Amino acid sequence: MHVFEVTLRKDRSNPKQTPITWPEWWGDVYTRVDTLTYQDEGRTEEGALCVCDDETWERIAAHNDPAIQELDEDTANAKGRAWRPQVEKIDNQEAALCVLAKAVRGEELTDDDRAVIDPDNDRPGVRKSPLFDVRRIAQQRGEKLKGRKRDT
């Protein structure tokens, strides 16, 4: 697995639509590349983090395109975490609302109640989104992409 960043050009002239321009040769490899996340900070040049197999990487590297930069996993994770930070989310609304109702009524919260609203606890309620991890994402997507058509 090779991890790399592609510098993309984005047309930001229409606030409702942002066309992306990939390198002109990208059509030769895009079906063999998995894009994990995009940078989206409102600039006209931004990155996309991608992974591919060794054979595809050889084809990409042969272009010697300055828009492509191979990354180590730590650098890719740092970029991915900056672009897609971990956030708190509710995965069991009913449980979270029950605890909230108890708190609003001034009732004492139990340890179980506190676990429901503790994003670091595994109990359904309030949790943190997964931390961006390029290896985990690539493995998850690889399982989903087993039947994906590949170019030759």
pTM for this predicted structure: 0.75
State mean pLDDT over 84-101.
94
What lies within 8 Å, CB to CB, of 116 at 6+ separation is: 92, 95, 96, 98, 99, 123, 124, 125, 126
- pLDDT of 10 reads 92
Q: Which of 22, 31, 21 is nearest to 63 (CA)?
A: 22
Quickly state the pLDDT bin for 109 (edges 50, 70, 90).
Answer: very high
With a cut of 70, say whether residue 144 has pLDDT above it: no
Q: Give 44-70 pLDDT, tens digit per residue.
A: 999 999 999 889 999 999 999 999 999
Question: Which helix (H) or strand (E) is 9 found in, with range?
Answer: strand 2-10
- Contact between 4 and 53 under an 8 Å Cβ cutoff? The reply is no
DSSP string of 21-65? E--TTGGGTGGGEEEEEE--SS-SEEEEEEEE-HHHHHHHHTT--
Beta pairing, strands 45-52 & 33-38: antiparallel
